[in-house]
Chain A
Amino acid sequence: MYNYTTFDKDFVATRAAQFRDQVQRRIDGSLTEDEFRPLRLMNGLYLLLHAYMLRVAIPYGTLDSRQMKALADIADTYDKGYAHFSTRQNIQFHWPKLQEVPDILEALATVDMHAIQTSGACIRSVTSDHFAGAAQDEQADPRPTAELVRQWSTDHPEFAFLPRKFKIAVTGSAQDRAVTKFHDIGLRLVQNASGGPGYEVSVGGGLGRTPMIGKVLRDFLHREDLLPYLEAILQVYNQIGRRDNKYKARIKITLHEHGLEDIRQRVEESFALQRARFDGADQDVLARIEANFKPPAFKAASTSRFETQRANDPFFNAFTKTNLHPHKNPDYAIVTVSLKAHGATPGDASSAQMRALAEIAKRWSHNELRVSHEQNIILPHVHKGDLPEVYEALRLAGLATANIGLISDLIACPGMDYCDLATARSTNVAQGIALKFDALKQEHSIGPLKIKISGCINACGHHHVGHIGILGLEKGGVESYQITLGGDGTQNAAIGKPTGPGFSADEIIPAIERLILSYLTLRHNASESFLTTFRRLGPAPFKVTLYPAKENQNEL
């Protein structure tokens, strides 16, 4: 875990005080709403359908027990006793009052947290692999880079009023769990031929109404060139990114309109100037940050209780099959705690559950927690011998749902129930799918499957990268759900393709059911996943089942 320096502490405390003053000036009229809006957005405060929403940063999804407990306290004191973990590895409180937001920011500052740059047309809170520093397949720990980027981007004077928001993600594994190909900038930790550390830099990925896969701008960037190179990209974007149309303002459109070669040339030109501004101080800071991310003191103990319990308890056994991921230390496991109990709103957690997670992490996960972009909570370092106790504690808190990676572990945006942009509900579809397949008891036989649901074209539910994506639109006053197939947010990045006409709110769950049943008959064997089957066969057989001919429909 990164430990705040006195500089960091002073920064967030001062920032909270500044926001208190800005709220006061908004209320007394010396700031207009137009002027206040970007200031509150830069401090995470949105105005949604019914009320304000405060999005608190959990940089690269990493937090400790003390911080999780503080978030639970905030949920109780200022909200309705729960909070929502978002697809950006952040946490959202949906009912704060404007006048109380400065108090919340102050409370956050006491545990080294903030809501800085979680919204607005600036560089957003950086995201990363939620298994960072723990996963067996990790090549390099992305967290020090992510923290360096966090510090560099915080209150950057040039880039607080960009054409549009700007998202940076970092990964250090071959298996890309940070969706880097769909970020404005995706950084992949790599080595050059002589083993020197550096980055592969991708630019211009994104979802939203124009989904694009990021393109490699530099296949190898020396580690010490990172910050000036990022400044060069941002400077080019700040100056030539479109400001006339917010739907064409992201860097993916800039890249698309100017072409990769033109952007590369501009970036290199700017980089040549920017490079001279860094005398190596950033590398000293990086070294200091790296020291914060040393692995915890893993214990040496027997793991036999893990095997015994698996043999004895079928529920525990099922949990270990879906919710564990291999750890660097073979005696340890990474536990993913599902916030997708069947029928619940994906990503929501009660304050009691947050406190239980804080306590479990303190006792059994070296005090550490992570938030995944798939809206689950990770216990990154759990000794296998402790797993039976961890499972029991999770079960008591209603957090032992064994569905990670399965059909009910789906992503959904808040949809029309909360969001003023949404054109359809999304959580009801999510709940409907989860309950349907839970009732059929088919979830485990279906195997790995990512369903992602967005309630409007802005794609906050990442439907473009769902193996099955569902996009809720409004057609003639009624909700219409369009299905896309074959999306993939990993290193094999692909954008899902629409299957055809949309389905009504009543038709969508039966349509998904037809789709799954046809997959079960089409797959080679139980180990061929939905995505693999889809890639082998293409969309045709799935379209047939989604849109049966009229005479067949009558028989159904």
Chain B
Amino acid sequence: MSFENPAISLSARVAELNKRFQNTDTVEMLREITSDPAFGKLALISSFGADSVVLLDMVAKIDRALPIVFIDTEMLFHQTLSYQRKLAKDLGLQDVRRILPSREAVLKRDSENLLHRYDTDACCTLRKTEPLARALTEFDGWISGRKRYQGGARMSMDLFELDAEQRIKINPLAHWSREDLASYIAAQNLPKHPLVAKGYKSIGCAPCTTPSGTIGNERAGRWRGQTKTECGIHFGNNAPARPVIPRAVIVTDEGFETEDWAAGFHSFASLATLPEQEKAALAIDLKGDFVAKDLLPWIGQIDLIRVSFPVFSDGRGFSLACQLRLLGFVGRLRAKGHIVADQYAMARRSGFNEVEIDQALARRQPEPVWQARADWQIRDYQNLLRQSA
């Protein structure tokens, strides 16, 4: 944002704007914010969905050159695409930017266009959130057509908000009702999305949208059968965070267990200054790039070493574990972090006793998947070559 006085915090600015425009007519407010240089470069984000035409019509009457960002997830209804072209022509919109997901990312993460079937969140991230984030980098603020009556997290939405990137986000229709929209469309004789006549009141991607039904929440047709209600582009500072339970799961050959180490973990750097009484039960955290021989002075005093794996594709920890064993470490050795079940045998063969994962990973890869590799001692070529039978 390009507000001049840095002494006034952005959130204070937003509060002030909400107060200033609380009783302003929507078109008037749009005219003011799009002509006020303090707002910097703005874009209207439009899905060209069921009632997008209202905001598009207002903007067209104020400034046809205002950039309009249209996220084409490549999963939209063909009716949405033809409706988009029709509206752009009828309203004379001069700068509609059709944003596509990254070619490379789709090739890597959804080559068969089936991601929506098993992970709708990942699909929205790939096809909506990431492309929008890219498109928004050149703007200082954005205008969205969300309404409070749509329910969910939208019920408490203000006219002005800050998004996660500290950009201003404007919701000019926040206080509009369904009836307000219908009467505006009728009064201005605006074309309707072809699917509205078929019972769709909120229109997203074809695989994840069904007709809404006649009563209840009009977004009920989105991700039907799931708890999901938002695609992710409208999560900001005040967004409801996804629940994350940080409690650790310890995986051993016997299965899932809970943490049994109560004494806490120290860093390697703190070992030199650690009071003697703390060494009675001693555990340390190491990273994969640690030089194993540096631990030699303490190696006999340590009960548990925990090696972190920030990403499962970084295999340094396996070599570190091997070296620690070769240098004579006989205590508990634990791999912690992003280890997948398919790596369990590798971890055990490298000298680890156990693996520590978080609840989210444990939910995705439950106990039986790990237990399937508890047979890590058989089919081991290296062991065959190292030790005579």
Q: Does A392 contact B (CB under 8 A)?
A: no
- Provide the bound-state CA to CA distance between A545 and B211, in Å: 71
Nearest residue (CB) in B for A276 is B326
| Contact A156–B388 (Cβ < 8 Å) | no
Which of A7, A35, A38, A276 sits near B384, CB closer than 8 Å? A7
Q: Are A281 and B385 in contact (CB under 8 A)?
A: yes
Check if B382 sits within 8 Å of A157, measured CB to CB: yes
Report the minimal beta-carbon distance from A249 to chain B, rounded to whole angstroms: 12
Q: Is the CB of B315 within 8 A of A277?
A: no
B316: which A residues are within 8 A, CB to CB? Answer: 238-239, 243
Interface residues on B, range: 35 or more
Q: In the complex the two chains form, is B315's CB within 8 Å of A161's CB?
A: yes
Query: Does chain B have a CB within 8 A of A278?
Result: yes
> Do the beta carbons of A47 and B381 come within 8 Å of each other?
no
Asked if A160 CB lies within 8 Å of chain B CBs, one says yes
Q: Which residue of chain B has the shortest Cβ distance to A237 in the bound complex?
A: B319
Q: Which residue of A lies closest to B289 (CB)?
A: A239
A103 part of interface (Cβ distance < 8 Å): no
> Is A10 a contact partner of B379 (Cβ separation < 8 A)?
yes
Q: Closest chain B residue to A243 by CB distance?
A: B314
Q: How far is the CB of B337 from chain A (nearest CB, A)?
A: 13
Q: Are A152 and B326 in contact (CB under 8 A)?
A: no
Q: Does A159 sit within 8 A of B, measured CB to CB? A: yes
Q: Mark A266-301, 1 if CB is under 8 A from B, else 0.
A: 000010011011111110110000000000000000
Task: Collect the chain A residues with CB atoms within 8 Å of residue B369's CB.
Answer: 25, 30
Does A77 sit at the interface, judged by CB under 8 A? Answer: no
B156, CB-defined interface residue at 8 Å: no
Whether the pair A157, B346 counts as a contact (CB closer than 8 A) is yes
Q: Does B322 sit at the interface, judged by CB under 8 A? A: yes
Give the CA-CA distance A266 to B352 in the complex, in Å: 24
**Smallest distance from the beta carbon of B241 to chain A beta carbons, Å?**
20
Out of A10, A18, A121, A152, name the residue touching B385 (CB < 8 Å): A152
State whether the Cβ of B320 lies closer than 8 Å to any Cβ in chain A.
yes
Interface mask (A144-186 → B, CB under 8 Å = 1, otherwise 0)? 0000100110111111111000000000000000000000000
Known A-B contacts A14-B379, A235-B323; the reply to A281 vs B387 at CB < 8 A is yes
Q: A30-B364, A420-B107 are in contact. Are A158 and B318 (CB under 8 A)?
A: yes
**Nearest Cβ distance between residue A377 and chain B, in whole angstroms?**
29
Does A11 have its Cβ within 8 Å of any Cβ on chain B? yes
Interface size class of A (residues with CB under 8 A): 35 or more
User: Which residues of chain A have C-beta atoms less than 8 A from B217's C-beta?
Assistant: none
Instruction: Please state if B312 and A160 are interface contacts (CB–CB under 8 Å).
Output: no
* Contact pattern, A 47-67, Cβ under 8 Å of B = 1, otherwise 0: 100000000000000000000
Q: Is A532 located at the chain interface by the 8 A CB criterion? A: no
Task: Indicate whether B36 reaches chain A with its CB closer than 8 angstroms.
Answer: no
B340 x A158 contact (CB < 8 A): no
Smallest beta-carbon distance A427→chain B, Å:
22
Interface residue? B313 (CB, 8 A) = yes
List of B residues within 8 angstroms of A274 by Cβ: 326
Any B CB within 8 A of the CB of A22: yes
- Specify which chain B residues have a CB less than 8 angstroms from the CB of A273 in the assembled complex: 323, 326-327
Contact B340 A31 (CB under 8 A): yes
Asked if B109 is an interface residue, CB under 8 A from chain A, the answer is yes
Residue-by-residue, is B112-140 near A (CB-CB < 8 Å gives 1, otherwise 0)? 10010011001000000000000000000
Determine the distance from Cα of A21 to Cα of B389 in the docked complex, in whole angstroms.
Answer: 32
Asked whether any CB of chain B lies closer than 8 Å to the CB of A260, the reply is no
The interface residues of chain B lying within 8 Å CB-to-CB of A21 are 372
Across the two chains, which residue of chain A brings its CB closest to B126?
A33
Q: Is residue A393 contacting chain B, with contact meaning CB distance below 8 A?
A: no
**A228 nearest in chain B by CB position:** B386
Q: How far is the CB of B336 from chain A (nearest CB, A)?
A: 16
Of all chain B residues, the one with the shortest Cβ separation from A152 is B385
Contacts of B342 in A (CB 8 A): 18, 22, 35, 39
- Whether A285 contacts B313 by the Cβ 8 Å rule is no
Report whether B340 and A279 are in contact in the complex, using a CB–CB cutoff of 8 Å: no
Is A27 engaged at the interface, CB distance under 8 Å to the other chain? yes
Please, which residues of chain A bring their CB within 8 A of the CB of B379? Answer: 7, 10-11, 14, 155
With a CB–CB cut-off of 8 A, which chain B residues contact A278?
Answer: 385-386
User: Is the pair A152, B315 in contact by a Cβ cutoff of 8 Å?
Assistant: no
Contact A161 B326 (CB under 8 A): no
CA–CA, A34 and B340, complex, Å? 11
**Complex alpha-carbon distance, A28 and B115, angstroms:** 10
Q: Is the CB of B364 within 8 A of A235?
A: no
Q: Is B35 an interface residue (CB 8 A)?
A: no
Q: Which residues in window 226-282 of A have CB below 8 A to B?
A: 227, 235, 238-239, 243, 270, 273-274, 276-282
B359 within 8 A of A: no
A408-427 interface (Cβ within 8 A of B): 420
Contact of A159 among B312, B315, B388 (CB under 8 A): B315
A274 to B327, CA, bound (A): 10
Question: Is the Cβ of B388 less than 8 Å from the Cβ of A284?
Answer: yes
CB-based contact B388/A279 at 8 Å: yes
A33-B386 in contact (CB<8A): no
- A-contacting residues, B307-336, CB 8 Å: 312-316, 318-320, 322-323, 326-327
Return B135 CB to nearest CB of chain A, in Å: 23
For the complex formed, measure the closest distance between the CB of B179 and the CB atoms of chain A, giving whole angstroms: 41
How far, in whole Å, are A420 and B381 apart by their CA atoms in the complex?
35
Q: Which residues of B sit under 8 angstroms from A47, Cβ to Cβ?
A: 107-108, 111
- Find A161's partner among B314, B320, B364 (CB 8 Å cutoff): B314
- A158 pairs with B315, CB closer than 8 A: yes
Contacts of A235 in B (CB 8 A): 319, 322-323
Answer yes or no: B355 CB below 8 A from chain A CBs: no
CB neighbours (8 Å) of A282 from chain B are: 385-386
Measured CB to CB, the nearest residue on chain B to A285 is B385
A162 touches B382 (CB 8 A): no
Q: Does B102 contact A (CB under 8 A)?
A: no
Give the distance in Å from the alpha carbon of A14 to the alpha carbon of B373 in the complex: 12
Residues of B within 8 A of A227 (CB): 385
Does B345 reach chain A (CB closer than 8 Å)? yes
Set of chain B residues within 8 Å of A314, measured between Cβ atoms: none
How does the 8 Å CB contact mask read for A2-46 relative to B, with 1 for contact and 0 for none?
000001001100100010011001011111111101110000000
18 additional A-B pairs beyond A152-B382, A281-B388, beta carbons within 8 Å, are: A11-B381, A25-B369, A27-B118, A38-B312, A38-B313, A98-B112, A121-B313, A151-B384, A155-B379, A158-B319, A160-B346, A161-B313, A238-B315, A238-B319, A273-B327, A278-B386, A279-B388, A281-B386
A-B contact pairs, 27 of them (CB 8 A): A11-B381, A14-B379, A18-B342, A21-B372, A22-B342, A29-B118, A30-B366, A33-B108, A35-B312, A35-B342, A37-B108, A38-B312, A151-B384, A152-B382, A157-B348, A160-B346, A161-B312, A161-B314, A161-B318, A239-B316, A273-B326, A273-B327, A274-B326, A279-B387, A281-B389, A282-B385, A285-B385
Chain A interface (Cβ < 8 Å from any Cβ of B)? 7, 10-11, 14, 18, 21-22, 25, 27-35, 37-39, 47, 98, 121, 148, 151-152, 154-162, 227, 235, 238-239, 243, 270, 273-274, 276-282, 284-285, 420
**Nearest 7 CB-CB pairings of A with B:** A161-B315, A29-B118, A157-B349, A157-B346, A282-B385, A281-B388, A273-B326
